[in-house]
Chains A and B, each alone.
Chain A
Amino acid sequence: MFKSGTSVNRFFLLAIFFISLNLQAKPLTIEITEGVEMAIPIAIVPFQASPVPTKHNLPNISEIVAADLTRSGLFKPLATADMPQTPYRSTQVKLESWRILGMENIAIGQYRITDDERVIITFELIDVFLGKPLISTTTVETTLAKFRTGAHEVSDRIYEKLIGQKGVFNTRIAYITSNSVSPGKNQFILEVADIDGYGPKPIFTSSRPILSPAWSPDGNQIAYVSFEQNRPHIYIHNLISGKKERVSATKGINGAPSWSPDGTKLALTLSKDGNPDIYIMDLPTRRLKKLTRHYAIDTEPTWSPDGSQIVYTSDRGGRPQLYKLPADGSRSAERITFEGKYNARASFSPDGRYLTYITGNQNIYQVAVMELATLQTTVLTEGRLDESPSFSPNSAMIIYSTELSYSAVLSTVSVDGKVRQKLGLQNGDVREPAWSP
């Protein structure tokens, strides 16, 4: 399972001891299976609460931040027990005591909770060797109900400062869980959780299959396919209003919804004319435009981030391969994958540099990336039945589902393949992850 030598074979199990704000929800456990060798040493000193919030059972902000940074695979936070001091103001910091430990950066901070349950966090990030603040005193405000969000915001700021790309600690994942409730009876749940596995919320529960969740670009809606009426129909669930709407229920398949980058259209697969083809639905008018007209299977459309291209899966060449088309249908389709017998279910990185998809042969299906400028392809994962790769909003990581001891779990891998982690529920299958914008 672990290669030796090339990477630090660290095996962090971030046991989740915090009393969850939502006791019914099972948090996901997160396991870093591989991190980078040059992980940055950092100390996140416990944030001082003033006054101490006795009536709220809150985790320390520093623990949340340290866990976030550890999960990125790029940082090696110092254990609180090993800290020489616990300052919360820059004047209290004894630089020498941290230099001796080889800490390059320390984050210190404090927070207070107001009577109307706002949480005001102030923090600094100090370069220990320069003895200067990298982030001078910064305030992040949140509410008690969104306490973790405030901590993730601190993580995002630190990550962006030190790594030079946006942090994704405040993003969410949508996924499908499937459990056998009794012989022959399953329960399918569309769920949304924070990216660190906290606060999973069921969006829709059904005894019939649910698949293909897709986030709207504003993160407020999820389109998905549900068999609740015994046929594959497409629905859109609004996370703000909690309302859902059936948007496509034609004869045959209504599947593979994918939002246009401007959020006004859905690309989808319909077989109403007897054969699965790609269509574009204008959401305000529900008007359909047929994009492919081929007797082969055409499905799994996805938009390029600029909205100009659609990449999709087609077996017109005899086996499933990826093809691209202008979204306005002005030119004919062009095949883009040539290695391997089976290449399907593509999605773009938000920066437009990469395409991730499933590559396989008869018995092995893994996550691959293609660098679009060079058309160079790399297989990133080592699973047998890997599925549904989806990019993080900062284009650095890919989340996918993989088979692990007979159940499906979610995993992430960095686009360079160096950082890996697994997220898993206690039981049942967790699959088809979609990373929120």
Chain B
Amino acid sequence: MNPIIKWLAVCGVAITLAACSSTKGGSQSGSSSVNSPTPTYTPPPKVEAPKVVEINPLDDPNNLLSKRVIYFGFDQYTVTDEYRAILEAHSAYIASNPSVSVVLEGHCDERGTREYNLALGERRGNAAKQLLSLGGAQDSQLEIVSYGEEQPVAIGHNDEAWTLNRRVEIKYQR
């Protein structure tokens, strides 16, 4: 197993545990005595070897890698600053995991013509790919597929829906 994945997995576990305990403390402060069993001391079981729990960093909600959608302005295909950190995290992860491959799905809102939007979606995919490549991801690991306006995530003919639909989804091929 790749040492970096292992390392990220361990970090992931640590962060997840921290997140769980803090959430519990916050939301259940008043009712913990009712819901929690009375704490009793149990001696730790004897273990022969420490078990490594593998959590994929991509599935860890506290890892930037779990954020896999970036959004764009109307008729724009420039990645704005707020999404650069996400792409940098993915870039580093993809670069250090040569076996990983990613499809960058480009999407548009429904305004404008369908085939032009197919091209615009590809432009958005290209913009994301460029930043991933800068961080060391190899060309062979990255593919762009534009869906144009054909696969909206939000239904509706308004700004709220349009904002959510102008996006690139980073899809790891597992």
Contact = CB atoms under 8 A, between A and B. Distances in A.
Nearest to A344: B113
Interface string A368-394: 000000000000000011011000000
Given A253-B146, A406-B157, A271 B119 contact: yes
A274 to B, nearest CB: 8
Contact of B111 (A232, A274, A365, A388): A365
A297 B145 contact: no
Interface residues on B, range: 20 to 34
Contacts of A256: 115, 118
A253 B119 contact: yes
A344 B119 contact: no
Interface string A304-344: 00000000010100011000000000000000000000101
Contact of A227 (B111, B115, B150): B150
Most buried by A among B110, B112, B114, B123: B114
Interface in B92-136: 110-116, 118-120, 122-123, 126
A421 interface: no
B138 to A, nearest CB: 16
Given A232-B146, A276-B119, A300 B113 contact: yes
25 contacts: A209-B147, A211-B118, A211-B150, A212-B114, A232-B146, A252-B144, A253-B119, A253-B146, A255-B118, A271-B122, A276-B122, A299-B119, A320-B116, A342-B112, A344-B113, A344-B116, A345-B113, A345-B116, A360-B111, A362-B74, A365-B111, A365-B112, A387-B113, A388-B114, A403-B157
B92 to A, nearest CB: 25
A432 B145 CA distance: 22
Contacts of A252: 122, 144, 146
Most buried by A among B75, B113, B145, B146: B113
Interface string A235-275: 00000000000000000110110000000000001010010
A360 B112 contact: yes
Contacts of A385: 110-111, 157
A164 B57 CA distance: 71
B89 to A, nearest CB: 25
A231 interface: yes
A209 to B, nearest CB: 4
A358 B147 CA distance: 20
A54 interface: no
Contacts of B126: 274
B151 interface: yes
Contacts of B74: 362
A358 B115 CA distance: 12
A344 B113 CA distance: 7
Contacts, number: 86
Nearest to B126: A274
A297 B151 contact: no
Nearest to A341: B75
A255 B113 CA distance: 13
Nearest to B144: A252
Contacts of B145: 230-232
B49 to A, nearest CB: 43
A4 interface: no
A360 B74 CA distance: 14
A358 B116 CA distance: 11
B146 to A, nearest CB: 6
Nearest to A274: B126
Interface string B147-174: 1101100000100000000000000000
A308 to B, nearest CB: 22
B108 to A, nearest CB: 12
A227 B146 CA distance: 10
Contacts of A313: 113, 115-116
Interface in A120-143: none
A299 B122 contact: no
A227 B116 contact: no
A274 B130 CA distance: 12
